Amino acid sequence: MTILKAEKIHKAYGNKFNRQEVLKGIDLAIEEGEFLSIMGASGSGKTTLLNVLSSIDKLTSGALQIEDQDMTKLKEKQLATFRKLHLGFIFQDYHLLDTLTVKENILLPLSIAGFSKKQAQAKFDTLANQLGLKEISNHYPNQISGGQKQRTSAARAFIHQPSIIFADEPTGALDSKAAADLLNLLSDLNQQRKATIVMVTHDMTAASFSKRVVFIKDGQVYTQLNKGDQTQQRFYQDIMKTQAVLSGVPHEH
């Protein structure tokens, strides 16, 4: 089932005298349970595309549907409610609240959505055990590592079982081990919980964890790769070759 459908997406900034068109007619369909990565050079429009797809930023023209909901017809308050109930977000810089504990940060979406304490506790226990966060649940963000912060951010994004998780460079601030841990976690949640994940990344290793990679160049879809039955290593090689062509760098065989 198609969970997100974008057609002829355009996004421009400025006015008629100084106008910058960032997205230039992108078509994209994302299936329920898919793990999709969006790649492209700096300035290609990949983060803008993520922001538009997640309704954080409004498109200039085009059509966007999530779960058969026409996102272009929702007003700001309706959009905020839709994001709160149906979408989850993981950011590079975590976006945790320093005055809340790990547990309180994770439970924030449930608190906003009006879940009872009993319901919230049950969901937290399940997810905290799965993500290895139980022992640090009463710690504050300044008392935990970057990897633990990002796992906390991931738990907060997943706790209310949203339709889609949007991740913006989630491994960007992590060392290689913490990045690998997070990517394995996202892959497990995608496979075990059938979570739909849309991730912007510049990291080819991160992209190799996904099932499909869409490459953006100059505000348009340049090409895409499907993992299919390939091993992760083989998929990584294909991503590397495509990225080299996209960057104009000759690939050595």
Which tokens sit at 235?
Answer: 């998929």
pLDDT of residue 227: 96
DSSP class per residue in 208-250: TTSSEEEEEETTEEEEEEE-TT--HHHHHHHHHHHHHHHHTPP
Is residue 4 a contact partner of residue 214, using CB atoms and an 8 Å limit? Answer: no
Give the three-state DSSP class for 251. coil
State pTM to two decimals: 0.90
Is residue 167 a contact partner of residue 90, using CB atoms and an 8 Å limit? Answer: yes
pLDDT of residue 172: 84
CA angle centred on 131, ends 138 and 175, rounded to 5°? 95
How far is the C-alpha of 122 from the C-alpha of 159, rounded, in Å?
Answer: 10
Give the three-state DSSP class for 184. helix
DSSP class per residue in 148-168: HHHHHHHHHHHTT--SEEEEE
Name every residue whose Cβ is closer than 8 Å to that of residue 79 and which is 6 or more positions away in sequence: 55, 71
pLDDT of residue 79: 93
How far is the C-alpha of 213 from the C-alpha of 204, rounded, in Å?
Answer: 10
pLDDT of residue 252: 47
Instruction: Report the residue count for the chain.
Output: 253
Find the radius of gyration of the CA atoms of the chain. Answer: 18
How far is the C-alpha of 166 from the C-alpha of 175, rounded, in Å?
Answer: 21
The 10s digit of each residue's pLDDT in 51-73 is: 999 999 999 999 999 998 999 99
Domains and CATH numbers, the chain: 2-246 (3.40.50.300)
Q: What is the pLDDT along the chain (253 residues), one digit of tens a residue?
A: 999 999 999 999 988 788 899 999 999 999 999 999 999 988 899 999 999 999 999 999 999 999 989 999 999 999 999 998 899 999 888 889 999 999 999 999 888 777 889 999 999 998 888 888 999 999 999 999 988 998 899 899 989 888 999 999 988 888 888 888 889 988 988 888 788 999 999 999 999 999 999 999 999 999 999 999 999 999 999 999 999 988 775 544 4
From residue 216, how far is each of 27, 49, 50, 126, 181 by CA, in Å? Answer: 11, 9, 11, 37, 27
How far is the C-alpha of 170 from the C-alpha of 152, rounded, in Å?
Answer: 12
Mean pLDDT of the chain: 91
The 10s digit of each residue's pLDDT in 230-244 is: 999 999 999 999 999
Of 48, 3, 1, the C-alpha closest to 26 is 48
Give the three-state DSSP class for 26. strand
pLDDT of residue 249: 59
pLDDT of residue 229: 96
